[in-house]
Structure 1
C-alpha cells in the first residue's frame, strides 16, 4: 500500500455569504515540496493564473503515462532522448459534471531502438498507469515516434 498526504488551505475574511463574492484561490501543500497556487477553473470564477484541479487531473494522467513509458523503454533497451505531451481533456457539465475523455499525445524521440516496439510500449504503459486505471472515462494515447 502507498499512502499520499496533502493539505489544502483556503480562507476568505468575507466568507461564503454569496456565491459570486468568495475567492476560489487556495494553496495545495505537500510536505517538503513547493506549494501550488490553486483556484477554480476560470469558467467557475477561478483565477486563470493559478492551477486548477481539472488541469492537474489531465497532468497526472500525462505524467503517469510518461513515467511508465520511460521505464519500459529502459527495460527494453530503447533509448529515449526527448518526450513531450500535449494532453487534452474534456469535461462536461451535463449530468452533474464529469470528465468524458482525456487524450495523451506523446511525441517521443529515440536515439536507438526499434520504433515499432517503442510504439507498442505505449499500450503497455497505458495498461500499467495507476492513474489511468483509477478513472472512469476513456484515456486515449496517440503517440508519435521520431527516430534521431
Structure 2
C-alpha cells in the first residue's frame, strides 16, 4: 500500500463580513509530498474571474490532468511491453462538467485525445485500441473515479 500527501493552504484576505457574503479570493497553495508546490484556485466557471486566482490550476483541471497523465504513463508501459517504442505522446484532454441526473454538478466525461509517435513499427488501429483499453483498465486514477473516460486517438502533428 502507498499513501500520497497534499496540503492545501488558504488564508482569508478580506474582512469576515465580505467572507459571509461570498466575496473572497479562492486562491490557495497546494503542496505535495514530492515537494512540488502549485498555485490553486476555484474554477472561474464556478466563481467568476473576480474570485478565481489568475495563473492557478483548479480542481476540475487537476482531475482532467490526473486522468490524462495516468492514462499516458500506463499506456507507455503497455506499449513497451508489447514491443512498441513511443517517441512522443501529446494528449489534449477535455473534461465536461454538467448536472448529473440527481441534479449535482460533476465532471461527467473526460475525453483523452492523444497523438502518439513511434520509432519503428506503429501499432495497427486494433492494437492501439487494445493498448488504450489495457491502459484504461490499469490506470489507478481511472479506477478511482466514476467519470466516463473516452480515448479518441488522433494523428501526431
TM-score strictly above 0.5: yes
Query: 1:9 aligned to 2:9?
Result: yes
Change (3 A) 1:47 1:93: farther
Query: 1:123 aligned to 2:133?
Result: yes
RMSD of aligned alpha carbons: 1.7
Match among 33, 36, 42 for residue 34 of structure 1: 36
Q: Secondary structure at the match of 2:29?
A: strand
Q: CA deviation at 1:143?
A: 1.4
Q: CA deviation at 1:114?
A: 4.3
The number of residues matched between the two structures is 145
Q: Secondary structure at the match of 2:20?
A: coil
1:9-58 per-residue CA deviation (whole Å, 9 max, x = no partner) reads: 00014242320x21100000013423100001112131242110100000
Query: 1:105 aligned to 2:113?
Result: yes
Change (3 A) 1:52 1:97: same
Query: 1:141 aligned to 2:151?
Result: yes
My pick for the range that moved more, 50-59 or 25-34, is: 25-34
Distance 1:106 1:114 in 2: 14
Match of 2:70 in 1: 64
Consecutive unaligned residues of structure 1, counting only runs of 5 or more, are none
8 Å Cα contact 2:41/2:53 also seen in 1: yes
Match among 68, 71, 80 for residue 74 of structure 1: 80
Distance 1:113 1:46 in 2: 46
Distance 1:32 1:139 in 2: 27
